[in-house]
Structure 1
């Protein structure tokens, strides 16, 4: 009999996590460039092919934990409520991430998150790959904006500014955490910084691409 889908997926997730944690241990010990995928596989007790079945490139052994965030900004803009702009949707999403101490907001002190961030900052190859994923995120966000009527140039400019601000804010939060502050200590300032940064953007964006309010149903109001 076939295993239930849920069990198979849990086994895959467990293997994926084992490979990633094994790799992170090795990368911390010897450096990202000094460790091969074959060595990760041998240490984890699997074949090199198995590693690549789970991770398309070596860098994903570190960055794979956050790859689901690549499409997130575009999804946030597409799913925003009537009466809101893309800027407001991205800002509100970031404020929620701060309140929930999500890693993407730079306000998580989860030990694994901190280990990953330090590896990325210490490895040019990881930093370049992360930039590649950020570019993918900008492209997806730009497409979502084009769907709503923005020109291609405007969409790329808007996406670049929104995600650059988000990236800078998260980086500042992580820098402060690394210096010894706690998420609870940083949270009020992180919220204030986010509001400040998006207020600056609002001066330039105005009501650009504000989604119309939903029309009232006949007989109501």
Structure 2
């Protein structure tokens, strides 16, 4: 039964997020109140806050799911005897191939509308930075090693590289470049970025 309850909770989280994002896209993030979201989703405000502690989290639900992704990739790589940077590079390349919105390489009009909302709303940009900081912490713990500072520095560089690569893809797609046309350049940029990391990081 616990599995069924978790599934129901996740479906509710997804519904609340979708309702909120629809309102944000229609009216703008700052113009939509939590009360309005709760009413549109037919839940109470306390119920909504049980699932999402802040209005920003409603918009960033999709990205929050990826918060621990680099750490999970590294943990799996270490268990299989694969170098962490190799696993992370391959994970990024696979994301580009399937047009994962997290990579920024997606020109679906709905995804583009959401990305414009995200990058055009200071409160969401700030909240995203908090997610990325948490992602760094989790990745540093996964990298481990005898020097915690070295692991933190490595994690910060890896997360920064992934962020910059995604931002460059978003910038080009928003400027009118098609995802299919951008793919070869995005792949080349990712490979070169990880080569740079490999030269500078002992992992």
TM-score calculated relative to the size of structure 2: 0.89
Cα distance between partner residues in 1 of 2:164 and 2:69: 17
1:181 and 2:174 correspond: no
1:143 and 2:136 correspond: no
The equivalent residue for 2:116 is 118
Deviation of 1:167 (Å): 0.6
Deviation of 1:11 (Å): 4.9
Matched residue SS, 2:19: helix
Matched residue SS, 1:33: helix
Matched residue SS, 1:40: helix
Q: In the TM superposition, what whole-angstrom CA distance separates every residue of 1:104-137 from its partner, at most 9, and x where no partner exists?
A: 1111233443232111111111111100000000
Query: Segments of 4+ in structure 1 off by > 4 A?
Result: 8-14
The equivalent residue for 1:215 is none
The equivalent residue for 2:27 is 30
Matches within 5 A, 1:1-221: 6=4, 11-80=8-77, 82=80, 84-146=82-144, 149-205=145-201, 208-209=202-203
Matched residue SS, 2:107: coil
The equivalent residue for 1:219 is none
Say how many residue pairs are matched.
Answer: 202
Matched residue SS, 1:77: helix
Cα distance between partner residues in 1 of 2:155 and 2:168: 20
Cα distance between partner residues in 1 of 2:150 and 2:15: 43
Q: In the TM superposition, what whole-angstrom CA distance separates every residue of 1:68-123 from its partner, at most 9, and x where no partner exists?
A: 21111011111116553222221111011111111111112334432321111111
From the CA coordinates, give the structure whose radius of gyration is larger. 1
Cα distance between partner residues in 1 of 2:90 and 2:42: 44
**Cα-Cα RMSD:** 2.1
Q: In the TM superposition, what whole-angstrom CA distance separates every residue of 1:50-83 from its partner, at most 9, and x where no partner exists?
A: 2123222211111012212111101111111655
The equivalent residue for 1:216 is none
- Conservation of the 8 A alpha-carbon contact between 1:63 and 1:116: no
Structure 1, 81-90 or 46-55: larger mean CA deviation: 81-90
Deviation of 1:202 (Å): 1.8
Change (3 A) 1:169 1:51: same
